[in-house]
Amino acid sequence: MTDILCPTCGRPNPDNQGSCEFCGSPLGTDDSSLRNDLFPAKDINAPGRHPPVEPDDSSRLDDFLKPTEPAGSSLRNDFFPPEENDDHGSLEPTGLNDSSPLKDFFSSEDLGNQESIQPTEPDDSSRLDDFLKPTEPAGSSLRNDFFPPEENDDHGSLEPTGLNDSSPLKDFFSSEDLGNQESIQPTEPDDSSRLDDFLKPTEPAGSSLRNDFVPPEENDIRDILEPTGLNDSSALKDFFSSEDLGDQESIQPIESDDSSPLDDFLSTKEIDDQNNLRAAEPLEDAKPDSEPTSFSGDSGWLDMLQDPNSTIDEDQESEAAPVSAPTVDKPGTDWLEKIKRLNKSADEVEEDSSFPDWLSVTEKPEGEPKAKPEEPESPAEDVPDWLQLDDDDDQLNDFLQKKDLYDSEIKSEDSGETISEEEESQAPAELFEEGVEHKKFPSWAAAQDSAPQNGAQEIPEELQFLAGVEPDSITDQIVDPFQGEEEEFFDDLFSEELPGWLTTASEEGAQIAEDEISRGELPGWVEAMRPVVESSDMTGLSEDEDYIENYGPLAGIPSVLPAEAEFALDPEQAAMKPLDLTASKSHQEYVNLLKKLIGEEKKVKPITKVAPVQTQRILRWLIAIILIITVGGTIIFGGTIETKIPPEDQVNSSGYGALFNQIDELFDGQPVLIAFDYQPAATAEMHIAAASVVDHLMEQGTYLSFVSTQPTGPVLAEHFLTSTQEKHGYIHNQQYINLGYLPGESAGLVSFVIAPKKIIPLAFDGSNAWGSPPLVNVDSISDFAMILVITDDPNTAKSWIEQVGTHLKDTPLNMVVSAQVEPLIQPYFRASPQLLSGYVAGVIHSLNYEHLREQPSLASTAWLPYNIGIIITVGTMFIGGLANGVLSLFSRHRARQIGEIK
Partner 1 sequence: MNIKLNAPVSTAIAIGVGIIVLAGYFIPSITNIRFALLRTGLVLAAVALLVGIINLLTVHFKKLGPDNENSGYSLILIIALLLTLVIGIIDMVQSYMFGQSNFQMTNWIFTNIQLPIETSLLAVTAVSLTYAAASILRKRMDLFSITFFFVILLVLLGSFSIPPATLPFLHIIRDWIVRVPALGGARGLLLGIALGTITTGIRILMGTDRPYGG
Distance CA 175, CA 864 (A): 152
Report the nearest approach of partner 1 to the CB of residue 672 (Å). Answer: 20
Q: Which of 39, 406, 490, 863 binds partner 1 (CB under 8 A)?
A: 863
Q: Is 878 in the site for partner 1 (CB under 8 A)?
A: yes
Report the nearest approach of partner 1 to the CB of residue 686 (Å). Answer: 11
Report the nearest approach of partner 1 to the CB of residue 632 (Å). Answer: 11
Q: Is 755 in the site for partner 1 (CB under 8 A)?
A: yes
Q: Is 782 in the site for partner 1 (CB under 8 A)?
A: no
Report the nearest approach of partner 1 to the CB of residue 642 (Å). Answer: 7
Distance CA 324, CA 530 (A): 74
Q: Is 763 in the site for partner 1 (CB under 8 A)?
A: yes
Is the CB of residue 87 less than 8 Å from the CB of residue 147?
yes
For 804, list phi and psi in degrees, rounded to 5. Answer: -105, -40
Report the nearest approach of partner 1 to the CB of residue 689 (Å). Answer: 13
HEC sequence for 674-722:
EEEECCHHHHHHHHHHHHHHHHHHHHCCCEEEEEECCCCHHHHHHHHHH
- Footprint (CB under 8 A) of partner 1, residues 130-189: none
The neighbouring-strand residues paired with 531 are none
Q: Which of 885, 893, 894, 897 binds partner 1 (CB under 8 A)?
A: 885
Q: Which is nearer to partner 1, 380 or 877 (CB)?
A: 877
Q: Which is nearer to partner 1, 310 or 683 (CB)?
A: 683
Q: Which of 766, 899, 900, 901 binds partner 1 (CB under 8 A)?
A: 766
Q: Is 611 in the site for partner 1 (CB under 8 A)?
A: no
Report the nearest approach of partner 1 to the CB of residue 898 (Å). Answer: 18
Report the nearest approach of partner 1 to the CB of residue 857 (Å). Answer: 16
**# residues contacting partner 1 (CB under 8 A):** 74
Report the nearest approach of partner 1 to the CB of residue 719 (Å). Answer: 6
The neighbouring-strand residues paired with 672 are 704, 786
For 764, list phi and psi in degrees, rounded to 5. Answer: -60, -35
Q: Is 879 in the site for partner 1 (CB under 8 A)?
A: yes
Cα→Cα distances 900→891, 892, 893, Å? 14, 12, 10
Distance CA 121, CA 138 (A): 15
Report the nearest approach of partner 1 to the CB of residue 855 (Å). Answer: 18
DSSP 659-678: HHHHHHT--TT-EEEEEEE-
Is the CB of residue 285 less than 8 Å from the CB of residue 338?
no
Q: Is 761 in the site for partner 1 (CB under 8 A)?
A: no
Q: Which of 454, 780, 826, 834 binds partner 1 (CB under 8 A)?
A: 826
Q: Is 876 in the site for partner 1 (CB under 8 A)?
A: yes
Distance CA 871, CA 723 (A): 28
Report the nearest approach of partner 1 to the CB of residue 667 (Å). Answer: 27
CB atoms under 10 Å from CB of 788, counted, come to: 28
- Footprint (CB under 8 A) of partner 1, residues 662-681: 679-681
Report the nearest approach of partner 1 to the CB of residue 893 (Å). Answer: 12
Report the nearest approach of partner 1 to the CB of residue 581 (Å). Answer: 56
Nearest Cα neighbor of 630 from 860, 873, 859, 858 is 873
Q: Which is nearer to partner 1, 588 or 884 (CB)?
A: 884
Q: Which is nearer to partner 1, 370 or 719 (CB)?
A: 719
Report the nearest approach of partner 1 to the CB of residue 680 (Å). Answer: 4
- Footprint (CB under 8 A) of partner 1, residues 694-753: 711-712, 715-716, 718-719, 722-723, 732-733, 742-745, 747-748, 750-751
Stretch 791-820: interaction string toward partner 1, x if CB under 8 A: -------x--------------------x-
Q: Which is nearer to partner 1, 192 or 876 (CB)?
A: 876
Nearest Cα neighbor of 816 from 795, 786, 846 is 846
Q: CB-based burial of residue 343 (10 Å sphere; 0-12 exposed, 13-18 middle, 19+ buried)?
A: buried
Q: Which of 594, 684, 776, 895 binds partner 1 (CB under 8 A)?
A: 684
Q: Which of 515, 827, 894, 897 binds partner 1 (CB under 8 A)?
A: 827
Q: Which of 536, 767, 855, 897 binds partner 1 (CB under 8 A)?
A: 767
Calculate the dihedral angle through the C-alpha atoms of 138, 142, 148, 152, rounding to the nearest 10 degrees. -60
Distance CA 151, CA 149 (A): 5
Distance CA 76, CA 269 (A): 10
Query: How many Å separate Cα 130 from the centre of its chain?
Result: 59
Q: Is 14 in the site for partner 1 (CB under 8 A)?
A: no
Q: Which of 526, 532, 871, 895 binds partner 1 (CB under 8 A)?
A: 871
Is the CB of residue 160 less than 8 Å from the CB of residue 319?
no
Q: Which of 822, 846, 860, 862 binds partner 1 (CB under 8 A)?
A: 822
- Footprint (CB under 8 A) of partner 1, residues 85-114: none
Q: Which is nearer to partner 1, 555 or 623 (CB)?
A: 623
Report the nearest approach of partner 1 to the CB of residue 819 (Å). Answer: 8
Q: Is 754 in the site for partner 1 (CB under 8 A)?
A: yes
Distance CA 890, CA 882 (A): 12
Peptide bond into 122 cis (omega under 30): no
At residue 97, the 3 state secondary structure works out as: coil
Stretch 636-655: interaction string toward partner 1, x if CB under 8 A: -----xxxx-----------
For 84, list phi and psi in degrees, rounded to 5. Answer: -75, -20
The neighbouring-strand residues paired with 607 are none
Q: Is 303 in the site for partner 1 (CB under 8 A)?
A: no
Q: Is 633 in the site for partner 1 (CB under 8 A)?
A: no
Q: Which is nearer to partner 1, 483 or 860 (CB)?
A: 860
Question: What one-letter code names the amino acid at 162?
Answer: G
* The one segment of 107-115, 568-576, 769-777, 872-880 that binds partner 1 by CB under 8 A: 872-880
Q: Is 783 in the site for partner 1 (CB under 8 A)?
A: no
Interhelix angle 683-699/655-664, rounded to 10 degrees, is 30
- Footprint (CB under 8 A) of partner 1, residues 224-243: none
Distance CA 295, CA 553 (A): 57
Q: Is 682 in the site for partner 1 (CB under 8 A)?
A: yes
- Footprint (CB under 8 A) of partner 1, residues 436-465: none
Distance CA 898, CA 902 (A): 6
Q: Which of 645, 889, 894, 896 binds partner 1 (CB under 8 A)?
A: 889
Pairing of strands 671-677, 703-708: parallel
DSSP 99: T
Q: Which is nearer to partner 1, 328 or 872 (CB)?
A: 872
* The one segment of 242-250, 331-339, 600-608, 879-887 that binds partner 1 by CB under 8 A: 879-887
Report the nearest approach of partner 1 to the CB of residue 732 (Å). Answer: 6
Which residues, including other chains, have CB under 8 Å from residue 674's CB and lie 6 or more apart? Answer: 694, 697, 704, 705, 706, 707, 717, 787, 788, 789, 790
DSSP 547: B
Q: Which of 619, 645, 776, 895 binds partner 1 (CB under 8 A)?
A: 619
DSSP 762: B
Cα→Cα distances 563→542, 566, 569, Å? 17, 9, 14
At residue 226, the 3 state secondary structure works out as: coil
Report the nearest approach of partner 1 to the CB of residue 735 (Å). Answer: 13
Report the nearest approach of partner 1 to the CB of residue 767 (Å). Answer: 6
Q: Which is nearer to partner 1, 22 or 621 (CB)?
A: 621
Kindly state the helix (H) or strand (E) to which residue 814 belongs, with its residue range: strand 813-817
* The one segment of 336-344, 482-490, 682-690, 893-901 that binds partner 1 by CB under 8 A: 682-690
